[in-house]
Amino acid sequence: MSTETTASAAASGNAATDRFRQSGKTTSIAADVERVNLLASKLIKAANDIVLEERVSYDEFNALKAWLIQVGEDGEWPLFMDVWLEHSVEEVATDHREGNKGSIEGPYYIPEAPEKKSPAKIEMRDDEKGTPLLFQGQVRSTDGSPLSNAKVELWHADEDGFYSQFAPNIPEWNLRGSFIADEEGNFHIDTMQPAPYQIPTDGACGQLIAAAGWHAWRPAHLHLKVSAPGHELLTAQLYFPGDAHNDDDIATAVKPELLLEIKPATEGSGVQTTYDFVLDPEAK
Ligand code: MBD
Ligand code: FE
């Protein structure tokens, strides 16, 4: 590794935990007694059913207790929740949509990235490694009308699979940006193709993956949030054809309609892709 400080599970996990605490996502949670009773009772019953059915031993019970403590110490609760549970929450939240259904947000989104008017180049290092990627398309409403000045937020890993602000020695807004589409809803963003992402192997989630004999990979992906006035915010991920893990993403977040079509760049080096987004009008 060329960097002086290497990435660690606890550093990225604790950064994700701090981010989540600052996100404001928990401020509107209403403590509805009936609902908490229902959900907590079902969760506890499901766990007890497993203990009884599988005759879980004290050694196994204590291993779980130690592991849960470690998840917290490594700051990996956001990672755990987003890898193993968020996909079902996303499914429930978006199953009414006629436009894009999207995919999970994951633990590494940061709001308010530097805003640029399309066409634009995302922030990257002068010597950023990888294959240049032109990502373009149009944002429309479900009735087909273009959404002028739609906003396309893009964030993704670098060629080493690391995200800025969650791994050391990467400029703050590297490979993160907020792009304003033109009057016809068209956007044109120059970026760099991301690498597949591996769940950190030196933290509690990595320990579980190894102990269970699973693999730790997510396929290479772009993260997006697409928004326009009067429309539902779309959170999505887009994937690259041929990636070995498109069919067995550890986060279960790949959908066939989220696969890009990649072509050689018509100008300059690298590749290009076109992907259009369709946003649902907000329910009245
Ligand atoms: C990621 O990059 C990601 O997108 C998700 C969902 C979980 C862990 C790392
Ligand atoms: Fe990701």
Q: Which residues contact 117 (CB under 8 A, 6 or more apart)?
A: 179, 180
Q: Which residue has the tokens 């906003």?
A: 151
**CA 93 to ligand 1 center in whole angstroms:** 19
Mutate to test the pocket of ligand 1, among 160, 197, 243, 249 (most ligand atoms within 8 A of CB): 197
What is the DSSP secondary structure assignment for residue 105, as one 8-state letter? -
Residue nearest to atom 4 of ligand 1 (CA): 106
Q: What is the mean pLDDT of the chain?
A: 95
Rounded to the nearest 5°, which phi and psi values hold at 224? Answer: -140, 150
Q: What is the pLDDT of residue 284?
A: 75
Rounded to the nearest 5°, which phi and psi values hold at 149? Answer: 60, 25
Q: Are 73 and 17 in contact (CB under 8 A)?
A: no
The arithmetic mean of pLDDT across residues 218-228, rounded, is 98
Instruction: Output the ligand 1 site: residues, CB below 6 A.
Output: 79, 82-83, 104, 106-108, 197, 218, 251, 253
> Tens of pLDDT along 126-144?
999 999 999 999 999 999 9
Q: What is the pLDDT of residue 2?
A: 44
Alpha-carbon span 210 to 224, nearest angstrom: 30
- Its domain, for residue 198, covers 91-279
Residue 223 lies in a domain: yes
Residue 68 lies in a domain: no
Residue 16 lies in a domain: no
Specify the amino acid at residue 153.
E
Residue 145 lies in a domain: yes
Residue 86 lies in a domain: no
Residue 85 lies in a domain: no
Q: Name all contacts of 27-36 with Cβ < 8 Å and 24+ positions apart.
A: none
Q: What is the pTM of this model?
A: 0.95
β partners of residue 164: 167
Residue 67 lies in a domain: no
Q: Are 221 and 194 in contact (CB under 8 A)?
A: yes
Of the pLDDT bands very low, low, confident and very high (cuts 50, 70, 90), residue 7 is confident
Closest by CA to 140, choosing from 281, 46, 249, is 281
Question: Domain holding 229: CATH number?
Answer: 2.60.130.10
Number of domains in the chain: 1
Q: Are 225 and 109 in contact (CB under 8 A)?
A: yes
**Please, is 194 exposed, middle or buried when counting C-beta atoms within 10 Å of its C-beta (0-12, 13-18, 19+)?**
buried
Residue 119 lies in a domain: yes
> Tens of pLDDT along 47-99?
999 999 999 999 999 999 999 999 999 999 999 999 999 999 999 999 999 99
Q: Please name which ligand lies nearest the alpha carbon of 87.
A: 1
Closest by CA to 173, choosing from 109, 129, 236, is 109
Alpha-carbon span 164 to 176, nearest angstrom: 8
